[in-house]
Amino acid sequence: MNDVVLFQELSCANGKRIGVAQLNSERTLNSLSLPMIRLLYPQLQQWAQDDHIVAVFLHGAGEKAFCAGGDVKQICLAVRANGIDDTTAEELFAAEYRLDYFIHCFPKPMIVWATGIVMGGGIGLLCGASHRIVTETSRLAMPEISIGLYPDVGGSWLLGRLGKIGLFLGMTAANINAQDALTINLANFSAESSQRQTVIDALTSLDWSNDVTEHHQQMTQLLAQYHHSALAASQLQAHQQEIEQRCTATNFTELYQQLTAPSEHTWLNKAANTLRAGSPTSAALIYRQWQNGQQLSLADCFRQELNLSVQCARHHDFIEGVRALLVDKDQQPRWQPATIGELTDAWLDEHYQPLWPKHPLADL
């Protein structure tokens, strides 16, 4: 399994090196698996401590996807085989969130080349990096409501800080493009998808300063040269007024009604239909998540998410949603409860019940 992530160290002109990590599972759209995480995390730790490594470049094999999500299919199969006490969910999510948190805190410039599909776990890898590049092919989303989950991998922190736009994106799983990502600062650089190797080559030829405090600025100046000026227009900007109108509610039930109302705009109507078809429990959890994320630190967001994600694997909708979408592929999830009117505070509170005497991410 060592080939699921490929590592290189590229020499620079002045003796320094660039660390390059490539998710190498093109067949699964580079979906983030536990073996991948167990390779990435120690390598990033090593590069963080190596004085010769000046920056890291993280990308995915092929052109279709940087990373299309986490390997939730394995969680579903394990729980179906072994029951809700199976530890697969805890092992995967704990390792993934620890990796994501480390990327947020990485002490050196880190580029993520977010071309193609970037969803779920791919968003987690992207949003913590210092230099986040999108291309004309980038399609980003947090589609967890369709599998009975919620936007995890630091989504609480991210969505909470995006205000009403974050609430809209989390609830509706709306697909956004490169210009959208730049507009909300999910990405901070753009380039043409064909320029990946050109950018890597430019990193190796850069005259890196001996003063490490200058490296971020050097990276920023370099990447600004590759700005792609011909990206498709932002959907979020085009529909900003209607999105804001749909997010004026002060309670969950009213918000759900606003966001699921039909729209004359195709993109917004698709978002409304996705929410309507998604898990009612997930919708309510996402609303709570968005509220909590505005108050919590990054570390506390990841700790709360680990508890919530493992609890989701012990409740019905997550396993059912993954079954319907990724295992049996009948596209007919049977949500329980089936409507938002059947949700109770007690049911939602169950998803937040502590699971461990000492939290696995207590040391973040």
Q: What is the pLDDT of residues 122-133, one digit of tens each?
A: 999 999 999 999
357 within some domain:
no
Strand 53-60: give its sheet, edge to edge: 5-11, 17-23, 53-60, 110-114, 131-134, 189-190
CATH number of the domain to which 52 belongs: 3.90.226.10
Res 2 pLDDT > 80: no
355 within some domain:
no
Domains in the chain, number:
1
Give CA torsion, residues 339, 340, 345, 346, to 10 deg. Answer: 10
**13 band by pLDDT with thresholds 50, 70 and 90:** confident
Segment 210-230 mean pLDDT:
96
Amino acid residing at 55? A
Res 14 pLDDT > 90: no
319 within some domain:
yes
Q: What is the pLDDT of residues 175-201, one digit of tens each?
A: 999 999 999 999 999 999 999 999 999
Segment 322-334 mean pLDDT:
96
Segment 95-111 mean pLDDT:
98
Tokens of 170: 């989390």
358 within some domain:
no
Parallel, antiparallel, or unpaired for β 117-119 and 139-141? parallel
281 within some domain:
yes
Against a cut of 0.95, is the pTM above it? Answer: yes
Backbone phi, psi, residue 357, to 5°: -60, -40
Q: Name residue, tokens 């791919």.
A: 122
Q: What is the pLDDT of residues 348-358, one digit of tens each?
A: 999 999 999 99
359 within some domain:
no
Our measurement of the distance from residue 14's CA atom to the centroid of its chain's CA atoms, rounded to an integer in Å, reads: 35
Compute the chain's Rg from CA coordinates: 20
In order, the DSSP letters of 283-318 are HHHHHHHHHHHTTS-HHHHHHHHHHHHHHHHHSHHH
**157 band by pLDDT with thresholds 50, 70 and 90:** very high
Beta bridge partners of residue 141, listed in sequence order? 119
26 within some domain:
yes
Q: What is the pLDDT of residue 100?
A: 98
356 within some domain:
no
Domain holding 17, by residue range, is: 2-350
Segment 300-310 mean pLDDT:
98
